Structure 1
Amino acid sequence: MTFLSGVAAAAALLVSLALPGTIAAAHAAEPVRIQPTTPTIAAPAAVPAKLITVPPLPTTADFTTLAEAVAAQDSSVSGETLRCLAGAIYFESKGEPLSGQLAVAQVILNRVKSGRFPTDICSVVTQRGQFSFVRGGRIPAIDEARKTWRTAVAVARVAVDKAWDTVAGTALYFNARGRSPGAGIRRIAVIGNHFFYR
């Protein structure tokens, strides 16, 4: 017995049980035909798309001054990477003009991409012998209520988002006035009390 003939026999039995007397006999004599069906799938109903308007991120063209770019940033810290970069800006250049603080941030970002230093911001900042404020591979505690800290965070955001260009764009090193640079590097900018080198 094949599957289809078994289905036909089962259908005939059901008809004979469900229909009384002569009607059942008449229907039982009729062959049961099973027709394959093709399911129809309805097209999804058209639903109007919900548009979510997201304001574009600020770009260099959106600001006329670096101070404006810094003021437009959120000064809260979200994530360890931003905290490391802001910590370096804070300890190395909090008394410098905004352009000097941004240049310090750019040095760190350039080091990450250079292939000569560690490949992430926190490792660049805490690398042994690179930044004098780092003690035992750690960034000291910072009073986050200070305005200079909030400014450092905002400058870090400007640097990471590339929201403003710096004249120390390719610098890999910097030091304070009065200190001698290492051999084989050339000065590319002087900003505030810092010299920047490549």
Structure 2
Amino acid sequence: MLTGTQLAAADGDDTAATGDALRKAETRGLRGVSQARLEGLLSEPNLATDVSFSRSWVDAQPKAKGGAHWKCLSEALYFEARGETVKGQFAVAEVIMNRVRSARFPDNVCGVINQGTGKRYQCQFTYTCDGNPETIHEPRAFERVSKVARAVLDGRAPDLTKGATHYHTTAVRPQWARVYTKTAAIGVHVFYRHTFRTASN
């Protein structure tokens, strides 16, 4: 998991950490690898967490703010998981971050969320390509998920999905679920990773 400083850099809040990652990469011969992926490769696990998966914990957090990637992640959680438990929301956010770290997906949060939005219903997250306006009708719910997004970007949450890069609701059974490795079931979502062991594959 990226450290809080490194995730803040990916969110556009700390360019110093990105520069450090690039310098380390150059000494290890990793030129040509994207910044976000370098940070994932070079970081050490952040074992400290102060997250409690409860609505009272979320409500007690300061109002969240951030850059474009925070906004993208907040909107994804709102449209994909606002009706989920707090733990379920953290798990969905984790999948998005696992994709950012994976060579199989774009190397930034907004890129992952908006991947494949050129044609209707041919995208990674349906709300981005269903033709409906992305309007926030429940501001209180958005405020809560935005705090979850901030905590995840800051590296405060523990690993919940064991490297999952995919999920679906329990109401469906997509074809890809037959060949991917199931890693967790949280709330109304079931989580999977590629048959490869880590999200970095």
**Is the pair's TM-score, using the shorter chain for normalization, greater than 0.5?**
yes
Larger RCO (CA under 8 A, 6+ residues apart): 2
The match for 1:90 is: 78
The match for 1:152 is: 145
Describe the shift of the 1:122–1:138 C-alpha distance in structure 2 as closer, same or farther (beyond 3 A).
Answer: farther
- Aligned partners of 2:132 and 2:99: how far apart in 1? 18
Aligned residue runs from structure 1 range 91-170, under 5 A: 91-128=79-116, 129-135=123-129, 140-143=134-137, 146-170=139-163
- Aligned partners of 2:60 and 2:158: how far apart in 1? 16
1:66 alignment partner, SS class: coil
1:188 alignment partner, SS class: strand
1:118 alignment partner, SS class: coil
Checking the alignment, whether the CA contact within 8 Å between 1:101 and 1:155 is kept in structure 2 is yes
Calculate the TM-score normalised by the size of structure 1. 0.62
Q: Identify which of 66, 78, 83 aligns with 2:53.
A: 66
Calculate the TM-score normalised by the size of structure 2. 0.61
2:104 alignment partner, SS class: coil
Q: CA deviation at 1:147?
A: 1.1
Q: CA deviation at 1:71?
A: 3.6
Describe the shift of the 1:115–1:139 C-alpha distance in structure 2 as closer, same or farther (beyond 3 A).
Answer: farther
**Equivalent pairs, count:** 137
Structure 2: gaps of 5 or more residues: 1-47, 117-122, 194-201
Checking the alignment, whether the CA contact within 8 Å between 1:187 and 1:196 is kept in structure 2 is yes
Q: Identify which of 166, 172, 179 aligns with 1:179.
A: 172
- Aligned partners of 1:157 and 1:115: how far apart in 2? 24
Describe the shift of the 1:146–1:83 C-alpha distance in structure 2 as closer, same or farther (beyond 3 A).
Answer: same
Larger Rg: 1
- Aligned partners of 2:90 and 2:133: how far apart in 1? 19
The Cα RMSD (Å) is 2.3
Q: CA deviation at 1:187?
A: 1.0
Describe the shift of the 1:102–1:118 C-alpha distance in structure 2 as closer, same or farther (beyond 3 A).
Answer: same
Cα deviation 1:102-129 (Å, max 9, x = unaligned): 0000000000001100011001001111
Q: CA deviation at 1:152?
A: 0.7
The match for 1:75 is: 63
Q: Identify which of 188, 191, 198 aligns with 1:193.
A: 188
- Aligned partners of 2:110 and 2:124: how far apart in 1? 12
Structure 1: gaps of 5 or more residues: 1-58
Q: CA deviation at 1:139?
A: 7.5
Amino acid at match of 2:179: G
